[in-house]
Structure 1
Amino acid sequence: MEEKVFERDWRFMLDAVLRINSVESVELLEKEALECLCLLIPCTQGTIFVAEESGGTIPHYGRPYAVGMEALFFDEFLNGDYNSDPIFTGTNIPCQTETFRDGDLLPEEYRVQTRLYREIYAKQGIHYALRSYLVHNARMVGNISLFNSKEAGEFSSKDVFIQTTLAPHIALKLGTLLALEDPQRSLRTAQQEKAIDGFGLTGREREIVLMIASDVDDREIADTLCISMGTLKKHIYNAYKKMRVNNRVQLYSLVNVHE
C-alpha cells in the first residue's frame, strides 16, 4: 500500500458507515455516500447513479448526483449508450460489489482512445477514475465514481482501499432502500411508463416527464438531475412538442390515464 491508513482514517470511515446507514431515502443516501467518500478521498469530481432495470445484461443508469467540479455532460452520458464502452465492458457485470481504477483495467494509451474518455471525460478535464459497481443480492443497484484531473494525479492504493471498504455498505443500504420503495409508486410508474411509450422521447425526456407527472416542480427537477433551468426548459419544450401538449395540466392528464 502506497500510504498508511491511520487511526483517524478508520474513525472517519466508521463515521461514514454510521451516516450511510442513518439515511432514509435513496436521494439522501446518494448525497451522504458521495460526500463521505470525497471527504476521505480528495478528488476533482464524484458521481453516483442508481441502476435501473433493463432488458439487457448491462443496466442503464438514472437518478444522478454529483459533487465537486460541475458535471457538464450528465445528459450526454445518460443518452449516449456508453455502456458498451471498453471502460465498462472490460469488467463484465460483477456478482458482488467491486472497486477498481480505470487505469488498472486498460493501459492509458488505449483508455484515452475510448469514446467515453474522448466525448465525456476529456472535455471536462477528467483523466483518472476510481469507481465501484454496487451490487446487492446479486443485482446491480448503482455505480459510484470518483474522478481526478491529470494534474491531481492517479488515485492511490490507499484511496482504493478506503472506497473498497465503504462500497459494500453503500450497496447494502442502497439495495435495501430500493426494495422498500413504495410498491404502489412502482406500479404507478409502470403505468406512466406505458402511457408515454410511442412518443419517441429520449431517456432524459422520459425521466423529466415522469417527474412532472408526479407533481415535482421545475426547480426540484433541475436540482435532482443536476442540470440548469435552461437545459430543463429545453427538454420540457421538446417533450411537450413530441407529446402534443402545451402545459403541465395536459401532460399530467395524458400520462396519468389510470388515475
Structure 2
Amino acid sequence: MNIQIERFSTVIDAVATRQFYPCLLAYLEDFLAFDNAIVYAFEQGQQPHCLMKAEKENSDAVNQLYQQGAYLEDPFYRALPCAGHGKVFTLRELVPCGFYQTNYYRHFYRKTGWHDEAGMLLQLTPERGLGVFFGSCRQTAGRRYPRLADLREALTLVKSVVRLHNEVVSVNRPLSTAPLPDSATQARYALTPREREIVDLILSGNGSQQIAERLFISLGTVKNHRKNIYGKLNIGSQAELFSLFLSAPLQRMA
C-alpha cells in the first residue's frame, strides 16, 4: 500500500487554513493525472461557490457562467446525490450519449479549454456537497491506473479530512467565504510535474548540477527546464522564484 502518509500529514496540518485545498491537490497529484483543478461547494437551494481555482487558461468569466446556471447541466453535479461515499468519476463515465452536441457542451464546456475531466464528489452533510474537479487541456485526466488500489485507500483518508475541514470551518464562517488561493498556488499549476520537482529542488538549495545528478538528467536539460519555468512564471531570476514561492511556504512543491 502506497498512500503517502507523510505527504498526507501536510493536508492534516492545513485543516481550517487557507492552504487546505492547495495541500489536498498536491497530495492527490500522486494518484490522479491533471493540470487544472477547481473546487466547488454545493449547498442546497444556492448557486455553487468556488473555493479554489488553479487553472492555466480558464477565465473567471467562464466560471461565473457555471455558477450562474450551467452547473445544473453538469454531469458531475447531477451525480452528486449518488456520490456520498466519495468516488472519483471520469467524464467518460458520466456523460450521456450525444454529450458533445448538448447545449451544456456547446455553450459552456468547450469555453473552459478542458480536454478531459475527472471529479471527486463528496456529500458532506444532507445540505452540503463538495466537488473537486480535475481537468486537462492536452491529455486524459483521471486515475493513474497502476495506483488504483492505493487511490481507494487514499480516498478513505481524504473523505475524513475534508469533512473535518468542513466542520471546523463551518463553526466560524460559511464554507463559501473561504479565501481564494494566492499567486503562488496559481503559478504552481502552470508547471509540469517535472518542472514542479525542479522548483522544489531549487527552493531546497540545490544548484543545477546537483539537480541533474539527483534526477539523472543532463545539465543542459536542467537549464532548459529552468528557462521554461522562468518563462511560464514570468520571472527572470532565481531570486524572483524564491520570492514567489517562499512567501507562501505551505504551497511548496512537496
TM-score by length of 2: 0.56
Which residue of structure 1 aligns with residue 237 of structure 2?
A: none
Which residue of structure 1 aligns with residue 40 of structure 2?
A: 49
Pick from 110, 115, 121: which aligns with 2:109? 121
Offset from partner CA, 1:90-130 (integer Å, 9 cap, x none) = 564433212211101236x5232334433333123212111
1:37 partner letter: L
Which residue of structure 1 aligns with residue 89 of structure 2?
A: 100
> Using a 3 Å threshold, how does the CA distance of structure 1 residues 26 and 165 change in structure 2: closer, same or farther?
farther
* Structure 1 Cα separation of the partners of residues 47 and 154 of structure 2: 23
- Are the aligned partners of 1:135 and 1:141 in contact in 2 as well (CA < 8 Å)? yes
Offset from partner CA, 1:158-184 (integer Å, 9 cap, x none) = 176555443343332222222223646
Pick from 1, 20, 23: which aligns with 2:11? 20
Which residue of structure 1 aligns with residue 136 of structure 2?
A: 148
* Structure 1 Cα separation of the partners of residues 58 and 140 of structure 2: 19
> Using a 3 Å threshold, how does the CA distance of structure 1 residues 41 and 63 change in structure 2: closer, same or farther?
same
1:119 partner letter: H
Offset from partner CA, 1:17-62 (integer Å, 9 cap, x none) = 22221213253211111122235433231111233x323xxx7421
* Higher normalized contact order (CA 8 Å, seq sep 6+, divided by chain length): 2
- Are the aligned partners of 1:141 and 1:174 in contact in 2 as well (CA < 8 Å)? no
- Are the aligned partners of 1:49 and 1:64 in contact in 2 as well (CA < 8 Å)? yes
Which residue of structure 2 aligns with residue 30 of structure 1?
A: 21
Does 1:179 find its partner at 2:170?
no
Count of residues in correspondence between the two structures: 182
- Are the aligned partners of 1:131 and 1:144 in contact in 2 as well (CA < 8 Å)? yes
* Structure 2 Cα separation of the partners of residues 170 and 70 of structure 1: 27
Please report how far the alpha carbon of residue 144 of structure 1 lies from its aligned counterpart in structure 2 after TM superposition.
Answer: 0.7
* Structure 2 Cα separation of the partners of residues 116 and 19 of structure 1: 37
Which residue of structure 2 aligns with residue 79 of structure 1?
A: 68
- Are the aligned partners of 1:95 and 1:138 in contact in 2 as well (CA < 8 Å)? no
Which residue of structure 2 aligns with residue 134 of structure 1?
A: 122
> Using a 3 Å threshold, how does the CA distance of structure 1 residues 120 and 35 change in structure 2: closer, same or farther?
farther
2:13 partner letter: S
* Structure 2 Cα separation of the partners of residues 129 and 117 of structure 1: 13
2:94 partner letter: L
TM-score by length of 1: 0.55
1:133 partner letter: L
Mark the runs of 5 or more structure 1 residues left unpaired by the alignment: 1-6, 190-206, 212-219, 228-259
Identity, % of aligned pairs? Answer: 13
